[in-house]
Amino acid sequence: MTAQLLDGKSLAKQIRAELAEQVAKFKSESNVTPTLAAVLVGDDPASDVYVRNKRRDCTEVGIESVLHRLGADTTQTELLALIEKLNSDPQVHGILVQLPLPNQIDTEQVLEAIAPCKDVDAFHPENVGRLVQGRPVFLPCTPHGVVELLKRNNISTAGKHVVVVGRSDIVGKPLSIMLAQKGADATVTICHSRTQDLPAVTLLADILVVAIGRPNFITADMVRPGAVVVDVGINRTDAGLVGDVDFDAVSKVAGHITPVPGGVGPLTRVMLLINTLNAARTATKL
């Protein structure tokens, strides 16, 4: 192991401490408690854990979280009715509908039903559009977590070649756009399952970000010595939780690397808290 570890877990803890102060100040000035409504449909055990962790984070910083648990057989109409209720509830500042949703649910329609001003995941097309135009209200949590992890470790992206592997709507696509924008100023290449000679491209990366959901997919021969490697993958295998990067091998060649767990994941959760506080600020005009 020669690479320097990018410790998301302790950074997230530090940011939560900063946030707790901001939340306390906001509460005393406004007499309003920032509130997140979390909607959990069905009984996926992983989703259960995620939502529990998010709610624990909320408690830690003084944000109220209200869980709405719906059965696996919930209909589209029932879920849309709940979202409508949360949209018009002035006590609720942020709405999180945990993904994935059961098969009978039209996910796109559900995400579009969330009021954009309460869309703390930034999944609504209005918020995606605003992000692309460089005037976001909310930043998507995982991409924002990656950007903040780099920033707080003094890793500049300006002028650097960032190679993003994965083009998902929740990570690869928005992250690529954010990194190419003014302020971040990276040169961005997006790779995906149809990319020809992927190692030839990843070897060019000053900063390599991987978000594809394939355990240990990135091997040492795909990484330029000294590169920064950010692993967004969360894969549950028989060997436990592993990322998309073969950590043991890649950490011998990389300059910096994120672990899984303890890398990007904890920061994703922190960004949800930031968005919820900002939603409450906007609703309260403070």
Ligand X SMILES: Nc1nc(=O)c2c([nH]1)NC[C@@H]1CN(c3ccc(C(=O)N[C@@H](CCC(=O)O)C(=O)O)cc3)C=[N+]21
Binding-site positions read 166-168, 234
Minimum Å distance from CB 88 to ligand X? 20
- Catalytic residue, chosen from 57, 121, 244, 246, is 121
Closest CA to 112 of 139, 133, 84, 93: 84
Minimum Å distance from CB 95 to ligand X? 9
Minimum Å distance from CB 207 to ligand X? 19
List the one residue from 37, 211, 234, 254 that touches ligand X (CB under 6 A): 234
List the one residue from 6, 86, 139, 141 that touches ligand X (CB under 6 A): 141
First to last CA, the chain: 47
Judged by beta carbon, residue 141 or residue 201, the one nearer ligand X is 141
213 binds ligand X (CB under 6 A): no
List the one residue from 79, 96, 150, 253 that touches ligand X (CB under 6 A): 96
**In this structure, what DSSP letter does residue 26 have?**
H
Residues in the chain: 286
List the one residue from 35, 65, 74, 98 that touches ligand X (CB under 6 A): 98
* DSSP codes joined into one string, 79-126: HHHHHHHHHT-TT--EEEEPSSPPTTS-HHHHHHHS-GGG-TT--SHH
262 binds ligand X (CB under 6 A): yes
Angle, CA of 100, 208 and 247, to the nearest 5°: 75
91 flagged as catalytic: no
Query: H or E element: which one contains 231?
Result: strand 228-231
List the one residue from 32, 137, 155, 241 that touches ligand X (CB under 6 A): 241
CA count, 13 A, side-chain hemisphere, 147: 22
66 binds ligand X (CB under 6 A): no
Q: Which residues are annotated as a binding site for NADP(+)?
A: 166-168, 234
From 28-36, 82-90, 93-101, 203-211, give the range in contact with ligand X by CB under 6 A: 93-101
121 flagged as catalytic: yes
98 flagged as catalytic: yes
Q: How many CB atoms lie within 10 A of CB 118?
A: 25
Cα distance between residue 35 and residue 67, in whole Å: 11
**In this structure, what DSSP letter does residue 102 have?**
P
Binding site for ligand X (CB under 6 A): 49-50, 53, 96-99, 121, 141, 234, 241, 260-263, 265-266, 268-269
Active site residues: 54, 98, 121
